[in-house]
Structure 1
Amino acid sequence: MSQPYQDLLQLEPKPVWQFFSEICSFPHPSKHEEALAQHIIAFANAKGLSVVRDKVGNVIIKKPATVGMEDRQTVALQAHIDMVPQKNDDTDHDFTKDPIRAYVDGEWVTATGTTLGADNGIGMAACLAVLAADDIPHGPLEVLLTIDEEAGMTGAFGLEAGYLDATILLNTDSEQEGEIYMGCAGGIDAAFKLPIQRQSATATQLQPVKLALKGLRGGHSGVDIHTGRGNANKLLARFLTHSEIAAKLQLVSISGGTLRNAIPREAYATVLVSSQDRDALQAAITDYLTTLNHELGAVEKNIQFSQTDVTCDEPAMTCDSQRTVLALMNSCINGVIRMSDDIPGVVETSLNMGVVTTANDHVQMLCLVRSLIDSGRSDVVGMLNSLAHLAGAEVVFSGAYPGWKPDPESKVLHIFRDMYEQTYGEKPHIMVIHAGLECGLFKEPYPNMDMISFGPTIKFPHSPEEKVNIASVGLFWQQLCGILAHIPRR
């Protein structure tokens, strides 16, 4: 084990942190999980366990029951192999090649300048630790490790009937200890493509300048969408639409965000500006920073907005194209659209404008719609269709996945709740999460499977601030072992 993980290996429970350290040492962003998957397969083979890959690449490992537990119902422990690759602008890190530099920071484990991958690496580590253990009572056990959860739920979509025998599934992808999840939001991706025209030649008398709006916290577009964090794409479009100087700027390109399911922390625009307007542009930037700090300062502590001279030979957009691009970005809904009436404090429907890019002849905008109810999702799809029509853009919807309908009568939910109360003297919170879990998709091939989701406390997933609470990992491990011991007979 390499030196950076030595402090993690001193943490309890040691088996979980051992596996998590190994996971961090293998690059595993979405669509680049194969090296880690092969490492896990080699581990399972060395333990003499049954291991298979399904058609899409999910890893399924089976372990016999411990002595005396053979008559229990079969349980599937489930996690996803991939992680979200997000880093700070000043961090030199290649997620396809470099290990995650995880370290202990007081009561937390975090990473240097990048996402940690505790989402869902800690859950996966716990699943592997159960497979490795010889002293944890359990019935027949299956571990399902899915691929590409963060970038499209490819593994969950591709899971077929016949691979699992389990009647109970324990999903480990939740992020607040003391909460049990029995339902989640569904979602759909929206990709706008807006054609643009460019001027016949670059205005040589104008200076190319790069505007950079940075320092926002970002985060998970489901878990954090209600926290009031700024969306860098929206904030930059707002400045370019409404500031007095904006009418004098010629837009060459605009971009921001890297994932449709992460709140964008940075956005950039290359503009052409005359030398006599540079002071006015700087004054507008300063004024806008003041406005943003006044509006968002309680949540966003480090907003930065700057201009820098750059070299650019690409012509600016025409005035009409510039107006349409900015109008589309500025008018697109973003954030919480509706709170749930049935579940207090839970977001029902939301949208995240996650990624904006500019090509030579078009601007693309990637959004993720989430909703607990299909009609809410359909309503937003309708609004985005209307917006695309008004802007003269094409919008394509893809990757729709269902929500996980809550089942208050779930037997495993009641078993977990009772076990939790007996252990800690209080009831856990039974919740529905606005983020997308894979459980809804598992119901397609396994409609009668009883499911819950739980996990340790993870803060700021999908952002470089991601961290996992050390004590909560111990509680999560205790609960996982406890529920396995209480699984009912067949």
Structure 2
Amino acid sequence: MSEIKTLEPKLLWQWFDQICAIPHPSYQEEQIATFIVNWAKQKGFYVERDEVGNVLIRKPATKGMENRQSIALQAHLDMVPQANEGTKHDFAKDPIQPYIDGEWVTAKGTTLGADNGIGMASTLAVLDSDNIPHPELEVLLTMTEESGMEGALGLRPNWLKSNIMINTDTEEDGEIYIGCAGGENADFEIPVNRIHNTYKHSYQIILKGLRGGHSGCDIHTGRANAIKTIVRFLANLQQSQSDFTFTLAEISGGSVRNAIPREAFVTICFNGDASILESAVKNFEVLLKAELAIAEPNLTFSVVSKDLPQNIFDKESTARVINTLNALPNGIIRNSDVVENVVETSLSVGVLETQDSSVNATILLRSLIESGREYVDSLLLSLANISGSKVILSGAYPGWEPHNDSPILELTKTVYTEILGYAPEIKVIHAGLECGLLKKIYPNLDVVSIGPTIRNAHSPDEKVHIPAVQTYWKLLTKILAEVPVK
């Protein structure tokens, strides 16, 4: 039991505390799904799982609400697993440790999982409550949203009865979302040839302390991508220090596809004067600290001696890896002409790993329009062709096209205005909500997305605003009470 169980609304926070206690990173949601299914059975609710593991729970209308339209509440079961350096946390086994920090709830050294744990907690709290008026209710909890929306992609057709849905995955108080970007995974493989190491020196270059964040919602903030930044240094070293010859032994960075990487590491081998490398690293840190003083105030760039590896990249492979990764597009490709102050198309290099015969970059593409995604596909394919690399595109999912004539949007706007005292903002988000996929399977769904303020999602700095959770709860429960008649 943690201190957050004392917060209001108590039932929601009690459920969130329970969610934090059960490990549920992407691809490891079985424990929490089983817990929820068993709880629903004990409560006497209809509960079922589909072929990919999504959970559907139904609760009859409260007394006097039987003639209202049925409504579905939707959240995803998984969370993004990210931990600070030095924090020992096994996301498959260890509970998240939430605590109150002023007006916020955050976690000790890890992601909090408020994305989408608060939304999930709110749906379960509605099911659990005996005094919240609501029509016939469905709660849909989807699998593995954060790593490719696999639950939404495999959702069983003809399963949901409702034509109205509230998605609970928005992260800003006072806003209603009616559209989102689609996405696609890209795995970029750069081939390398290894040779026996005959160099005398081996050093590891380390970039740490970057802010990271959500690779969609934070892509416009100017935060540095650790992978791209460390490769920038290598390209600079290669181009400016003609008398300093080096080769790569290993390069890595990031940990999940959908987070901006906060750390990156590279091991290089050489015969020359180590002071040249040390000076170059020190000078580049000064450059970065000046260039990124506001966006990345806590970055550190350092170099340490390392044991000599047995095998290294040959000269051609070293040049190919550095040049290809340096040329690999990253960040905003285009801003939207249709939706003001929204990114249209972007991509983020999320993870970089060194394998026996390749260096593999894991990339997430996002776009509000299909042609934007196809353009980035073309960029990656061209770069792969030029560099002798391979790119595998997979898991494409559609965006959610906004519609302003939605009845649930009008109801949500009206209720939100009553609660806030002013009109909420209607927005489109450059992130992957499941709504587009859900509407592809259930085209008649009328959907909005709402949620409380969450900052720094997908990073260990993640936090959720306590007063915003209270506002969100008032909004959600009032909408349920005012759903129109059939």
TM range (shorter): over 0.9
Residue identity in the other structure for 1:93:
H
**For 2:440, what is the secondary structure of its paired residue?**
coil
Q: Deviations over 1:236-268 (max 9, x none)?
A: 000001123485222111111111111000000
The 8 Å contact of residues 249 and 309 in structure 2, kept in 1 or not, is answered as: no
The 8 Å contact of residues 245 and 284 in structure 1, kept in 2 or not, is answered as: no
**For 1:263, what is the secondary structure of its paired residue?**
coil
Q: Pick from 382, 405, 418: which aligns with 1:409?
A: 405
Matches within 5 A, 1:297-312: 297-312=293-308
Residue identity in the other structure for 1:330:
N
Q: Deviations over 1:434-481 (max 9, x none)?
A: 000000010122100100000000000000110000110000100000
CA distance in 1, matches of 2:27, 2:97: 20
Residue identity in the other structure for 2:72:
A
Query: 1:271 Cα shift?
Result: 0.8
Residue 379 (structure 1) aligned with residue 375 (structure 2): yes
Residue identity in the other structure for 1:112:
K
Matches within 5 A, 1:282-361: 282-361=278-357
Q: Pick from 92, 95, 100: which aligns with 2:96?
A: 100
**For 2:411, what is the secondary structure of its paired residue?**
helix
Residue identity in the other structure for 1:446:
Y
Query: 1:310 Cα shift?
Result: 2.0
Residue identity in the other structure for 1:105:
D
Query: 1:319 Cα shift?
Result: 1.2
Indicate the residue corresponding to 1:258 in structure 2. Answer: 255
Query: 1:129 Cα shift?
Result: 0.3
TM score, norm. by length of structure 2: 0.98
Indicate the residue corresponding to 1:206 in structure 2. Answer: 200
The 8 Å contact of residues 77 and 171 in structure 1, kept in 2 or not, is answered as: yes
Q: Deviations over 1:143-191 (max 9, x none)?
A: 0000100011111001122211011010000000110000000011111
Residue identity in the other structure for 1:202:
N
Q: Pick from 39, 43, 48: which aligns with 1:43?
A: 39
Percentage of matched positions with identical amino acids: 51
Matches within 5 A, 1:135-174: 135-174=131-170
Residue identity in the other structure for 1:263:
I
Residue identity in the other structure for 1:262:
A
> Cα–Cα, structure 1 residues 41 and 238, in superposed 2: closer, same or farther, change >3 Å?
same
Residue 225 (structure 1) aligned with residue 219 (structure 2): yes
Q: Pick from 121, 126, 131: which aligns with 2:127?
A: 131
**For 1:183, what is the secondary structure of its paired residue?**
strand
Q: Deviations over 1:69-105 (max 9, x none)?
A: 0011111000000000011121111000100011111
Indicate the residue corresponding to 1:236 in structure 2. Answer: 230
Query: 1:420 Cα shift?
Result: 1.3
Query: 1:298 Cα shift?
Result: 0.6
Which ranges of 4 or more aligned residues in structure 1 deviate by more than 6 Å? none
Q: Deviations over 1:25-81 (max 9, x none)?
A: 001000101111111112111211110001100010000000110011111000000
**For 1:407, what is the secondary structure of its paired residue?**
coil
CA distance in 1, matches of 2:480, 2:273: 68
Residue 32 (structure 1) aligned with residue 25 (structure 2): no
The 8 Å contact of residues 408 and 447 in structure 2, kept in 1 or not, is answered as: yes
Matches within 5 A, 1:392-471: 392-471=388-467
Runs of 5+ consecutive residues of structure 1 not aligned to the other structure: none
Residue identity in the other structure for 2:197:
T
CA distance in 2, matches of 1:23, 1:311: 43
Q: Deviations over 1:206-252 (max 9, x none)?
A: 22211111110000000000000000000000000112348522211
**For 1:444, what is the secondary structure of its paired residue?**
helix
**For 2:332, what is the secondary structure of its paired residue?**
strand
**For 1:389, what is the secondary structure of its paired residue?**
helix
CA RMSD of aligned residues (A): 1.0
Indicate the residue corresponding to 1:279 in structure 2. Answer: 275
**For 2:313, what is the secondary structure of its paired residue?**
coil
CA distance in 1, matches of 2:116, 2:390: 34
Matches within 5 A, 1:60-139: 60-139=56-135
Query: 1:273 Cα shift?
Result: 3.0
CA distance in 1, matches of 2:21, 2:147: 21
Query: 1:311 Cα shift?
Result: 2.1
CA distance in 2, matches of 1:421, 1:176: 15
Residue identity in the other structure for 1:220:
H
The 8 Å contact of residues 77 and 172 in structure 1, kept in 2 or not, is answered as: yes
The 8 Å contact of residues 183 and 404 in structure 1, kept in 2 or not, is answered as: yes
Residue identity in the other structure for 2:387:
A
Runs of 5+ consecutive residues of structure 2 not aligned to the other structure: none
**For 1:17, what is the secondary structure of its paired residue?**
helix
Q: Deviations over 1:119-150 (max 9, x none)?
A: 00000000000000011010000000001000
Residue identity in the other structure for 1:261:
N
The 8 Å contact of residues 245 and 281 in structure 1, kept in 2 or not, is answered as: no
Residue identity in the other structure for 1:143:
V
The 8 Å contact of residues 26 and 36 in structure 1, kept in 2 or not, is answered as: yes
TM score, norm. by length of structure 1: 0.97
CA distance in 1, matches of 2:216, 2:289: 24
CA distance in 1, matches of 2:422, 2:277: 57
CA distance in 2, matches of 1:314, 1:350: 39
The 8 Å contact of residues 208 and 264 in structure 2, kept in 1 or not, is answered as: yes
The 8 Å contact of residues 252 and 314 in structure 1, kept in 2 or not, is answered as: no
Residue identity in the other structure for 1:265:
R
Query: 1:314 Cα shift?
Result: 3.0
Residue 489 (structure 1) aligned with residue 477 (structure 2): no
